[in-house]
Amino acid sequence: MGNSDPAVFPSTHVEFPHRVAIPPKQPFVKSLGYTLKETFFPDDPLRQFKNQTPARKFLLGLQYFLPILEWAPRYTFQYFKSDLIAGITIASLAIPQGISYAKLANLPPILGLYSSFVPPLVYAMMGSSRDLAVGTVAVASLLTASLLGNEVHAGEHPMEYLYLAFTATFFAGVFQVALGFLRLGFIVDFLSHATIVGFMAGAATVVILQQLKGILGLEHFTHGTDIMSVMRSIFTQVDEWRWESGVLGCCFLFFLLLTRFFSKKRPKFFWISAMAPLTSVILGSLLVYFTHAEKHGVQVIGHLKKGLNPLSITHLAFGSPYLMTAVKTGIITAVIALAEGVAVGRSFAMYKNYHIDGNKEMIAFGMMNIAGSFTSCYLTTGPFSRSAVNFNAGCKTAVSNIVMAVAVMFTLLFLTPLFHYTPLVVLSSIIIAAMLGIIDYNAAIHLWKVDKFDFIVCISAFLGVVLASIEIGLILAVGLSMLRVILFVARPRTFVLGNIPNSMVYRNVEQYPIANNVPGVLILQIDAPIFFANSSYLRERISRWIDEEEERIKLSGETSLQYVILDLSPVASIDTSGISMLDEVKKSVDKRGLKLVLANPGSEVMKKLDKSNLIEEIGEDWIYLTVGDAVGACNFILHTYKPAAPVVVESEPRDNNV
C-alpha cells in the first residue's frame, strides 16, 4: 500500500517537449453552432454559395434541388445510347413487377403501372444517383396491405382502401421531405445492417407464403402475415387447391430461377434474367388465351383500363376516420423505403466512385411520393433488384428512368388490353422469384462469424416478422439495436495497459500478452465517452481494478502500487457527471495513498477539467501528453524517492538519467 504523505509525490522535474494544452475558450453560441453544423450540415451545402454573384447563387440553388440542371448540359449522345438500352431493360422488369406488387398491396394492378410512370420522372429531375431505378417494392407493398388491411378490408371497401393508400403515400412523401429539409437523415441510420438483413428476410418469407394463394389458385385467404395464419389458411382449404394453377406456377417459377442462375454464372447475359418476368407474362397470357385456362380454375388479371394516370389529389382521405392509420402506414413505409433506397444508391455510388447526398435523396423520394399520391400512385423507392439491372445494363445517368417511364407510358396508352389474360399465378411466381433473392443467408452467416449480438438482432427481426407481424418484427429489431447502443454507453469497457518490450508503446495486456506491467503503476484505459449514464459504473469499475491490482501485487510480492494512470485517449467528450466521477476517483485514490495521473485527455475533456478547476486539484504536473510520458514521470519518482519512507538526502549527486 502506498503512503499518503505529500513528500512521497513531489512535483516532478522531468522535462517533456510538450504539455497537454487547454483549448482556447469559445463563446457558447459559437460552440453550439459548430456542434449543430456538424450534426445537421456536415457536408456544408452553403459552401458553394460563398463569394458568388446573386445570379450564380440562384442557379446553384436550382442545381442543388434539381441536379438534372447540373449534368444535363454535359449530356452526350453516347450517354443516351447507354441509358436507352438500360431504360428499356428495366421497363421490361418494371411492368410485370409493378402489376405483381400492386396485387400484393391489395390494390388494382393498374396502379403498379401508374407508379412506374410519374415517380421515375420526378426522381430523374431531383435525384442525385445515376444508377437508382425507381419503382414499387414488395416489402412496402406488403406493409401497406398489412397495416391498412387491419382497419379496412380491401375486398369489402375497395374505394376507401384505395383512397387510404393514396393518403398513406402522401404522408410518406411529406415525412421523407421533412427529414431531408431538416437534415435528419441520420435517423435512418438507426436501422442497422443486421436489422435490415433480418427484417427483409422475414418480410420476403412472409411475401412468399402469401403468394401460395396465387400458386394454389385460392380465392379466399387470410389477411394475417404471420406464418401460423398463412399455413392454417392453406391447409384448411385443401379441397380448393387447383392442380392446374399449381403446375403452371411451378413451371414458371422454375423458368425464372433458371434464368437467374444462368445470368449469375454468365454476367454478360444479365438481360436474360431481366427479361424473364416479361417473357413469363407474355407466355402465360398466350397459354391462357389459346387454352381458355381461365375456365378451368386459372385466375387472370382481367380488364386493365387504358390511359395515363388519373388525378387522385381530390381522393386523399384527410377526413377519414382511419386517417391516423394512413399516417402510421405512411411513416413506417417511408422509413423502410428510405433505408432501402438510400442504401442501394450509396452502394452503387461507391462502386462508381461518385457521391450522393442522403438528405437530397430523401427530398427526391419525398417529392416523387407526394407527386405520386396526386396521380394515382402508391409508395415507390429505389429497389435493389431493378437498380442492379439498371447498373448491369450500363446506365450512365438518371435518363434511364425517363426511358423506362416513356416505355410504361406507351404500355398504358396502347398495350394494357394485352394483359387481360395474364394469369395471377405468373405474377405470384414473379414475386416469389424476386423475394428469394432478398433472403441473404450469406449475410446472416457473416453476422454470426463476426458479431453474435448483431446475429441475434437479425434473427429477432426475422422471427418477429414471420411469427408475429411486420410491425412487431421491426420494433423488436430496432429495440434490440438501441439496447446495444445504450449498453455500450452505459457499460463501457476499461482495459489494463502494459508496455510492449523495447518500445514506448502501451497496449491492452489481454490483447497483447507480451505487454509487461509497469512496477508500482496501474495503467487503465477508458474506451468510451464519459456521461451521466456510465459515470457511476466507471467509478466503481476503476475502484475494483485498483483492488484487483493490489491483491495481485500482494500475492506476487512486487513493488507496491503507487500510481494510477488513466489513459483518456478514447474519451471524446465528458459531461458534468463525468467530471464529478473523476473528482471522486481522485479523492478515493488519495485516501488509498496513491496518486492519480491523467494521460492524453482530448480538447473537450481539458475544457471541462479547466472550467471545473479539477486541473488545479489534480495538478498540472500530473497531466501528460502520452502514457509513455506519464509512466516516465512516475518511474523517475519511484527510482528517485523511496515511496514508503521519508526521503533520504544522499551525499553524492544522483545521475539524472536514471
Predicted confidence at residue 363, as pLDDT, reads: 92
Q: Nearest to residue 299, comparing CAs of 417, 213, 415?
A: 213
Query: Quick one: pLDDT at residue 7?
Result: 41
Which amino acid would we find at residue 642? K
Judgement on whether residues 633 and 502 belong to the same structural domain of the protein: yes
- Greatest mean pLDDT among 35-39, 392-396, 591-595 lies in 591-595
Confidence band for 42, pLDDT divided at 50, 70 and 90: low
422 has pLDDT over 80: yes
pLDDT at 590: 93
Tens-place pLDDT, residues 303-315: 899 999 999 999 9
Residue 321 has a CB neighbour count (10 Å cut-off) of 10
Single out the residue of 292, 356, 397, 337 nearest to residue 115, CA to CA. 337
- Check whether residue 415 and residue 508 sit in a common domain: no
Higher pLDDT, 56 or 447: 447
* 2: confidence class by pLDDT, cuts 50, 70, 90: very low
In the chain, helix, strand, coil percent, each to 5?
A: 65, 5, 30
* Mean pLDDT calculated for residue range 61-87: 90
On whether residue 645 sits in a domain, the answer given is no
Higher pLDDT, 651 or 265: 265
**CB contact at 8 A, 558 and 519:** yes
Q: Do 421 and 523 share a domain, yes or no?
A: no
Last residue of a domain, one of 408, 438, 468: 438
Residue 499 β-bridge partners: 506, 516
- The pLDDT confidence band at residue 644, using thresholds 50, 70 and 90, is very low
Q: Among residues 413, 438, 463, which one ends one of the domains?
A: 438
SS3 321: coil
Per-residue pLDDT at 11 = 53
Give me the percent of the chain exceeding a pLDDT of 70.
89
User: Directed axis angle between helix 158-181 and helix 138-149, to 10°?
Assistant: 120
Asked if 166 and 312 touch (Cβ cutoff 8 Å), the reply is yes
Residue 394 neighbours by CB under 8 Å, 6+ apart: 82, 85, 86
Cα separation, 419 vs 96, in Å, equals 10
| 524 touches 545 (CB < 8 A) | yes
Q: Are residues 410 and 338 in the same domain?
A: yes
Enter the C-alpha cell of residue 80: 443516351
What span, in angstroms and rounded, lies between the C-alpha atoms of 640 and 657? 11
- If asked whether residues 370 and 502 sit together in one domain, one would say no
pLDDT (mean) for 257-279: 90
C-alpha cell at 629: 510520458
Residue with C-alpha cell 454476367?
Answer: 267
Establish if 237 belongs to a structural domain: no
Residue 253, all three cell numbers? 417459377
DSSP 146-196: HHHHTTS-TTTSHHHHHHHHHHHHHHHHHHHHHHHHTT-GGGGGGS-HHHH
> 495 - beta bridge partners?
525
pLDDT in tens, 583-631: 999 999 999 999 999 999 998 899 899 889 999 899 888 999 999 999 9
- Report which of residues 638 and 467 the model is more confident about: 467
Question: Could you give the number of structural domains in the chain?
Answer: 2
Domain co-membership, 512 together with 606 = yes
Take residue 313 and report the three cell numbers written for it.
389529389
Same-domain status, 413 and 558: no
Other C-beta atoms lying within 10 Å of the C-beta of residue 652: 5
pLDDT at 342: 84
Of the pLDDT bands very low, low, confident and very high (cuts 50, 70, 90), residue 40 is low
Q: Which segments of 353-418 does DSSP mark as H helices, in order?
A: 358-374, 384-392, 399-410
**What pLDDT, on the 0 to 100 scale, is given for residue 654?**
41
The pLDDT of residue 123: 96
458 falls within a domain: no
Whole-structure pTM value? 0.78
Q: Please determine, for residue 215, whether its predicted confidence score (pLDDT) is greater than 80.
A: yes
| DSSP for residue 130 | S
Please list the alpha-helical segments (H only) found in 15-65. 28-40, 54-65
Q: Looking at the domain assignment, is residue 654 inside a domain?
A: no
Which pLDDT belongs to residue 4? Answer: 42
User: Does residue 429 sit in the same domain as residue 497?
Assistant: no
Q: Which three cell numbers, joined as nine digits, stand for 380? A: 415507390
Please give the single-letter amino acid code of residue 141. Answer: S
What does the pLDDT look like over 274-304, one tens digit per residue? Answer: 899 999 999 999 999 998 888 877 888 988 9
Its domain, for residue 343, covers 68-190+267-438
Over 50: is that where the pLDDT of 650 sits?
no
Adjacent-strand bridge partners of 498: 507
Amino acid at 43: D
pLDDT at position 15 is 59
The angle subtended at Cα 513 by Cα 508 and Cα 517, nearest 5°, is 65
Task: Calculate ∠ Cα 577-579-584, nearest 5°.
Answer: 95
DSSP category for residue 72: G
pLDDT of 240 > 90? The answer is no
* pLDDT the model gives residue 646: 41
CA quadruple 140, 144, 150, 156: dihedral sign: negative
Same domain? 310 vs 389: yes
Does a structural domain hold residue 613? yes
Please check whether residues 304 and 165 belong to one and the same domain. Answer: yes
Inside any domain, residue 627: yes
In this structure, are residues 417 and 306 in contact, taking their beta carbons and an 8 Å threshold? yes
Q: How many residues does the chain have?
A: 658
Specify if 422 maps to a domain.
yes
Instruction: Provide mean pLDDT across the span 377-386.
Output: 90
Q: What's the whole-number mean pLDDT along residues 2-23?
A: 56
The residue from 393, 423, 438 where one domain ends is: 438
Amino acid letter for position 431: I
45 pLDDT exceeds 70? no
Amino acid at 549: E
Residue 510 CA to residue 525 CA, distance in Å, equals: 13
Q: Which amino acid is at 524?
A: L
Q: Which residue has the higher pLDDT, 441 or 641?
A: 441
> Do 413 and 552 share a domain, yes or no?
no
pLDDT of residue 645: 44
User: Are 316 and 424 part of one and the same domain?
Assistant: yes
Mean pLDDT of the chain: 86
What CATH number is associated with residue 588?
3.30.750.24
Mean pLDDT lowest among 470-479, 516-525, 646-655:
646-655
In a domain, 652, yes or no: no
For residue 119, pLDDT beyond 50: yes
